[in-house]
């Protein structure tokens, strides 16, 4: 009985040696790229001979917090079977598989691409597991989240409208992580808004009856995924560091909206956008207690140092409203881009 058991164990060991060893994870690699650029996530075969073994399979996945959240990126099983998945379709390619390089090339990188990726190579000889952390950087690593609703009132934007609205204010639609960070920084807003993943949420730091109830906990209130065409909400935008100068244009008189636009042009600038005011306020500490026109027809002013008659209780961008554009009651904020 013992000799039979020994023979069986030896046979299994020989089989394992013949058909491949258990994959051993390689050291973790970190790669950083710029938003909108291209990047290569490294994963190389141990030996070029494995290409000719006849059973090569390369799988790339994006690793989630748990296995159920993993995303398929790319599968390769020979020249006749190559496939990419979901958002990675037409953006993910193997670098140079014919020369033993299973690295993943990603083009047009977005903030959503950030995370942990796993390369699994099975070739019947020497299996490989390589994890790569992808970081995406640009001005978006430093910025400010702000809620936005258009001049015709709250809850009037479908998802596509929301994306374009943020863009028109020199911003992008915010991500969940950006809204979460803003909430941790004290953002409290009771109107629900779109995020870039198609969910609708809002941040509450001070629970109250109209915003989930007085007995609810602080946090992000989540309406979940909504119909991107039919559903209507506000939006949370994200403005990054300014590439230029935001300023109050000193004028002898108050201006109508059209006069405000022209005054900025006469100063070799443009009337400022909402995202530019938020970026100047949050990232540069801009403070002025004068209500001024902005490009969307709204009137606002940024307060970094709360004081009597100027946002006495908190630092904030104060919203006056969308007044009649013919009214000559306000000044103007301008923006001069870097040249």
- Are the beta carbons of 279 and 140 closer than 8 angstroms? no
Q: What does the pLDDT read at residue 2?
A: 45
pLDDT at 16 over 60: no
Over residues 50-63, the pLDDT tens digits come to: 554 457 899 999 99
Q: What does the pLDDT read at residue 322?
A: 98
Could you name the CATH architecture of 21-137?
Sandwich (2.60)
> Domain 242-337 sits in which CATH superfamily?
Mannose-Binding Protein A, subunit A (3.10.100.10)
> Domain 139-239 sits in which CATH superfamily?
Mannose-Binding Protein A, subunit A (3.10.100.10)
- Per-residue CA distances from 200 to 4, 58, 81, 181 (Å): 64, 37, 38, 16
Which of 24-33, 50-59, 165-174, 222-231 shows the lowest per-residue confidence on average (mean pLDDT)? 50-59
- Are the beta carbons of 116 and 103 closer than 8 angstroms? no
Q: What does the pLDDT read at residue 139?
A: 42
Chain-centre distance of CA 141, in angstroms? 9
Q: What does the pLDDT read at residue 9?
A: 43
Over residues 271-318, the pLDDT tens digits come to: 999 999 999 999 999 999 999 999 999 999 999 999 998 999 999 999
In sequence order, what DSSP letters do the residues of 259-316 get, joined into one string? Answer: HHHHHHHHTTSEEPPHHHHHHHHHHH-------EE-TTS-EEEEESS-BTTB-TTS-E
Looking at residue 44, the DSSP 8-state letter turns out to be B
Interval 93-109 mean pLDDT: 87
Boundaries of CATH 3.10.100.10 in the chain?
Answer: 139-239, 242-337
- Per-residue CA distances from 270 to 29, 115, 293 (Å): 44, 38, 12
Question: Which pair of tokens denotes residue 188?
Answer: 């409290």
For residues 212-224, one letter each, b for 16 or more C-beta atoms within 10 angstroms of the residue's C-beta and e for the rest, the string is beeeeeeebbeee
Q: What does the pLDDT read at residue 221?
A: 94
- Are the beta carbons of 85 and 71 closer than 8 angstroms? yes
Which of 204-208, 211-215, 257-261 shows the lowest per-residue confidence on average (mean pLDDT)? 211-215
Q: Is 242 exposed, middle or buried (0-12, 13-18, 19+ CB in 10 A)?
A: buried
């Amino acid at each position: 009985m013992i000799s039979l058991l020994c023979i069986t164990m030896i046979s299994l060991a020989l089989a394992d040696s013949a058909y491949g060893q258990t994959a051993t994870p390689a050291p973790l690699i970190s790669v950083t790229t710029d938003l909108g650029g291209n990047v290569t996530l490294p994963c190389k075969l141990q030996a070029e001979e494995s290409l000719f073994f006849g059973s090569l399979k390369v799988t790339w996945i994006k690793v989630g917090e748990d296995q159920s959240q993993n995303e398929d990126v790319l599968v390769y099983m020979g020249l006749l079977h190559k496939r990419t998945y979901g958002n990675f379709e037409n953006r993910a390619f193997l670098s140079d598989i014919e020369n033993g390089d299973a690295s993943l090339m990603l083009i047009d990188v977005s903030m959503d691409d950030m995370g942990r990726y796993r390369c699994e190579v099975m070739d019947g000889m020497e299996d490989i597991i390589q994890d790569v952390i992808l970081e995406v950087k640009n001005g978006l690593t430093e910025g400010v989240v702000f809620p936005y609703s258009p001049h015709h009132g709250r809850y009037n934007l479908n998802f596509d409208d929301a994306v374009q609205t943020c863009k028109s204010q020199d911003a992008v639609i915010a991500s969940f992580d950006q809204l979460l960070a803003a909430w941790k920084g004290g953002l409290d807003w009771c109107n629900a808004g779109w995020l870039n993943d198609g969910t609708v949420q809002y941040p509450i730091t001070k629970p109250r009856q109209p915003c989930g109830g007085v007995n609810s906990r602080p946090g992000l209130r989540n309406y979940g995924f909504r119909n991107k065409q039919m559903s209507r909400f506000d939006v949370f935008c994200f403005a990054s560091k300014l590439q230029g100068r935001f300023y109050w244009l000193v004028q002898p008189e108050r201006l109508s909206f059209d006069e405000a636009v022209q005054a900025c042009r006469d100063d070799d600038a443009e009337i400022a956008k909402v995202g530019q005011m938020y970026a100047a306020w949050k990232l540069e500490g801009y403070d002025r207690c004068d209500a001024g026109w902005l490009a969307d027809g709204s009137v606002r002013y940024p307060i970094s140092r709360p004081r009597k008659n100027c946002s006495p209780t908190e630092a904030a961008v104060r919203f006056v409203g969308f007044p009649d554009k013919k009214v000559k009651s306000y000044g103007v904020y301008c923006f001069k881009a870097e040249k």
